[in-house]
Chain A
Amino acid sequence: MTTIAVVDYGAGNLVSIEQALAAAGARTVRLRAARPVEADGLVVPGVGSAGSAIARLARRGLDATIRSWVDDGRPYLGICLGLQLLFESSEEEDVRLLGMLPGRVVRLASAPRLPHIGWNQVALRERHALFDGIEDGTDFYFVHSYAVATGGGVLGMTEYGVSFASAVAVGSVAGVQFHPERSGRDGLRLLANFVGIAARASGRSAARPVEEVA
């Protein structure tokens, strides 16, 4: 069975991402401290502020774990803050991030109301295995006030007062600004796609077909 490590740095709800990954056919393990990761894929979830997230990661040595995982070219999926952490810096508390992707996370200043909470559409710019079986313009659930405007590797864009990158992939690194674990059937499909990507990268058989889980 494909194993996905979920990085736990002490912020909020891990149950829903773990349950959604289980429904998508993966076994999950929690990664709480810096140690060798025995998994096929790494998921970094997260809500809240970038500054406190980066501090919590650093305190546990998990920032180095993420870096070496990504440097090794292994499958990574960042969700919400887990995507933002990959960029160079954030306007939120003006904090330095992991700097593995070029770009700055900025506040959605021209949005009608913040946080951006609710279902919004992802316009696909490029096809990627992460979005297999997912139509262009599908609704996903968002909860955030900050995002990256654009940049390299953008798979999907979303509009809320301003256009921002809602899905990104560069090499083995992928991230989504929305919450697939809270986006119903299409969210589970995206997670199953990631589990499939992780399985193939490890030379394992593919995950359970999503029809069985949704």
Chain B
Amino acid sequence: MKVNVWLAKAIAIFSVSMLASCETENQQIAENSLIYCAEGSPASFNPQTDTSGTTIDAIANQLYNRLIKFNDDNSIAPALAKSWHVTRDGKMITFYLRKDVHFHSTDYFYPTRLFNADDVLFSFNRILDSEHPFHLVSEGKYPFFQNVQFSNIVKEIEKINDHTVRFKLHQANSSFLANLATDYAVILSKEYADLLAEQDRKDDIDVHPIGTGPFKLKSYQPGSLLRYYRHDNYWHNNVALEQLVFDITTSDTGRLTKLLTNECDVIAYPIAPHKIQENPELQLEEVTSFNIGYLGFNTHKPPFDDQRVRKAISHAINKEAIIDAVYGGKAEIANAILPKNSWAHDKSIQPHEYSPIKAKQMLIEAGYKDGFSMDIWAMPVQRAYNPNALTMAKLIQADLSEIGVQVEIVSYEWSTFLRRLSLGEHQTVLLGWSADHPDPDNFLTPLLSCSSVVTGSNRALWCNQEFDNLLKLALQTTNINQRKNLYFQAQAIIQQALPLLPIAHSKRFQARNKKVKGQLLTSFGGVNFAEVSKQ
């Protein structure tokens, strides 16, 4: 029977070690740590070099700060710069920097000095100066800054003293501050860069990041996890979370399961919203993103060179049905190009209500009594602003057949699609736009200005001098009421001419355990765990 006694002992020890729960200790580690189930791996550890949502969510607000940031109401607030001053002509902006900002100290870098003007100069000159030793690290790609033509805006950055920096612009640009407040305009450490340059491992600056943000990188396993520790000397607030883990779970059912089993505290892009709402421990959050899904009319091609036809079509489309079928209700009907939470959104804009009768009448007025046939180009990829363009095109096809317009749906592989689109081969196209920052200019200029007809983001190929002048005037003043007024006028022109039919502003969803407190999600930019805590 000896064996049996040993067996009994072994079983006893096994079960005791399993059941003996050190409750208090257990609670501690769970309370101070948070697991976020993300949908993918970041492509870079430097937001200057990548604009994909997944990358920005993972790194931008965790590792870095910017000189200035957006408040909840989308106004600009101080961050690493405690204040700033814009000269009357708008051409010089002086930032007064904080003196108490620490960079991360990690296994691979120990900073010996605090944040100062050199870091600001380094961070921006890396982008601006093509001769800069770090410019070509990560292949010299700075997508956001190249899109806004940053080097055409900024003439020079000057260090006044250790804690004062002056940006000199070629001409006044009121969206400049908004550009600096985006997730992409982060501040890197020059001291770290110098060390890397000395050791000839410059590439490490975008791989082993050093920033000033609330968390520092502990370890990264591609495709699996991202581990952050709290930055104890964070300048802004006491960060509640000791450890922040990004569990990279690409399958959406996998993320839902982990949320339901408490293996994740917060998940990105949840499915089955009803299941989450039913559960008393979970909370579903939504925020309307700064984006727009639209139907663009090629204003160079008949019959859409006639604004009466464009309006007729817009009355014939049932947007509500589209919101239900394509977005699953997860979107807002768009009446204007600017979303409702933009400060330049004009509430007085009347929507083009759904009315086939009115549409038919307008077609007759425009001289198309028997209707006509047209094409709709449906983009072949999924985007937040349009999760299924093909379905949307089919719905529109059905709507338009009621007023006697025959629709042919066209789709190509994505790169071909974009190429042929830029040649203006389309009659109408289903596409969209996600804003990088809440400044209204980031919607109107790329979508509808004359210059973007040339660069290719204006898919309506619509060019109106009066509209363009209003946009230019609005950029040259910093007086917000004046700008608002100018943008209202500009929107009135669009409303009249209707080069694009706004369809929807999609929402971004996130689900969390109710134990997680604090704001995470904003209407643009990445998630931010700095002020999140757990109970």
Q: Are A and B a genuine interacting pair, yes or no?
A: no
